[in-house]
Amino acid sequence: MADNPNPRDTIRILIATDNHVGYLERDPVRGNDSMVAFDEVMQLAKSEDVDMVLLGGDLFHENKPSRKALYQCMRSIRLNSYGDKPCELRVLSDQSVATEDTAVAHLNYEDPDINVAIPVFSIHGNHDDPSGEGRFCALDILQVAGLVNYFGRVPENDDISVRPILLQKGETKLALYGLSNVRDERLFRSFRDGKVRFMRPAMGPGGEDEWFNLIAVHQNHTSHTETGYLPESFIQDFFDMVLWGHEHDCHIEPRLNTEQNFHVIQPGSSVATSLSAGESIPKHVGVLSIHKKSFSLKTIRLKSVRPFVIRDISLSDEKAIRPNTENKSAVTAFLIEQVEECIGEAIEEWREAQDPEDRDKTPPLPLVRLRVDYAGGYDVENPQRFSNRFVGKVANSGDVVLFHRKRAQATRKARTNIDVDDTDLLAEHDSLDKIKIQTLVNDVLSKQTLAILAENGLGDAISQYVDKDDKNAVKQFVDDTLTTQMKTLMRMDVREEDIDQAIEAQKEKEAEKFAKKVGREEQGARKRAVENDGFSEDDMPPPRRRQVARDDDEDEEEEEEEEPQPSIRTTKRAPAAKKAAPARKAAATSTRRGRGNKAKSPTPEISDAEDDIIEDEEDDFESVQSTRRKAPSRAMPPPKAKAAPARRGAARQSQLTFSQPSQAPSQTPRKRAAVEISDDEDDGFESMKRPGRR
């Protein structure tokens, strides 16, 4: 930029982002911090006599700001942007790009009924984005009130067209683009698929670009996930400047992107919304001066921001404190001394940022944060009790200290660098499609360490999610585990230094409990498989109510027979047993009385004389079982009973069908009795007749 550009050809813009008006407004100490900081930003715009103010999103901290936050914001804008000074910016484009309401489809300083000296342009961020019916946000209220020019709306996330507001002052032309916040993953996909278009103004007479192209965005700047950010390479190279919002770290100095050949400015937030290292960087805003295609930036430090000092401490580096001893008092005294030093450092930094005439004023209570690593055998105090010592000395008297323990480097590598040998997995299976998800899960979990969750339980939950499409399996497992851990720790009343050991013990207990549960389920499955012997539950006969005695002494002889046939042997036989009794009508009736079911073949009947003999000699009988080779699976008895040796005279194989007839209330069940098999022509036997219904 030229050393002394003509002020009539220079557009001066005050840039700021992430004001978060209304943050912690209910806090008795920090409740007004965000409002005071934003008021200072607007006062700087007036004192610096800029042409416009450009905000990069998150003007409000909440989607629905309170009346107090809305009032204070509107008050600051009105007192500092309204005035008799005419705005020298001329609009060359369609003004409807700034609003969708045709009744107020113009920039506020073009309204003849409002005297706007310093117009405010703003996009929305992720905190104050549109929602609800009509897709309105707080900026729409400021827009219709004539206080803010809200631009950069994104009506459709998968079809984005960015149109600029064309402004001119003297010989300098500014194309102002706005891209309000869109979910990072969705915007990443839209850029990748070519669904984001930028409309450019016409070139000059000689084909040169006369416009200074400036865009304001509000997205993640760093790659938190693979697609959870906006890469700078996605922004087209015809831009000259990118104002980046959303990130609170203050990097106000312009940084050149050598690949895209544009500069990036990240002002950061004007108020600390978290006690992190990035928020401790001094807060700044900037005045961007644009002259034709060149620019310059004047950085201004905010003086009303509450001072903030953060310090990382590792107790193992302090030689004066001996580990693995009664060192709680020594540790507490050391940390108190560190907090006092941070308080003095914060106050000194605040005084240096003030004007000389304001350095004698009473400084605000500072923000102080100690992040203490107490790994290695150090006894520390409760963080809440420790922080309460500094009530009236710091603004965050509830969370001054944060205790943590760093894990070993090897453990961290083991948890992040997971090496899954897919060659071995493929060698064990014919193809990748045949690899069970349980195999992959077990292989991955076996190579890392989980602090709270049991590996076998998590593996089973993932398998349920993949194999059975149970979308709540993993969430349910995690919630149940955390609930159990919390209840156990509260019941045990564990000391703070023993929490890790208690969690590890509870984790092992849960893993052992889950392993026993799986073992019981597998044992039951094997038992059912042996009992069913390959048959489905529909093919299995109903449970028998009459049991036939078994002679265990003849098991070995039965196994030696090549073709076992069902038979009944007895020490005494009645004459009626030599030939099957003729079928009676009662025997042909189905066990389900009243439904009209009839048998297709006669059923063998037991005579009275035979009943008497069998009841007296019931213990001498051997159990009966038919072979599966020829017998219908529907009438197969339980496979545990073994078949008796076949008779030479038997010409064909027979089978019994047992049933569960319902007993009438007035009848008494008969004693258990054995039944001799009939060798009649038809093999389809019906159920035994019910007692007392001959």
Phi, psi of 167 (to 5 degrees): -125, 150
499-532 and 455-467 helices, crossing angle to 10°:
50
Two tokens, residue 313: 């401490």
Rounded Cα distance, 611 and 675, in Å: 9
**Residue 211 identity (one-letter amino acid):** W
Determine how β-strand 120-122 pairs with β-strand 149-150. parallel
Exposed e or buried b per residue across 334-365, where buried means at least 16 C-beta atoms within 10 angstroms of its C-beta: bbeeebeebbeebbeebeebeeeeeeeeeebb
**Residue 98 identity (one-letter amino acid):** A
Rounded Cα distance, 178 and 90, in Å: 18
**Residue 589 identity (one-letter amino acid):** T
Task: Determine which one of 127, 218, 284, 291 is catalytic.
Answer: 127
Rounded Cα distance, 341 and 348, in Å: 11
106 is catalytic: no
**Which H/E stretch holds residue 143?**
helix 138-144
Phi, psi of 622 (to 5 degrees): -110, 150
Tell me the C-alpha to C-alpha distance, in Å, between residue 607 and each of 577, 584, 694.
9, 11, 10
3-state helix, strand, coil in the chain (%, to 5): 35, 15, 50
Closest of 639, 635, 641 to residue 622, by C-alpha: 641
Are the C-beta atoms of residues 280 and 349 closer than 8 Å to each other?
A: no
In 17-89, where do the E strands start and end? Answer: 52-55
Catalytic residues: 127
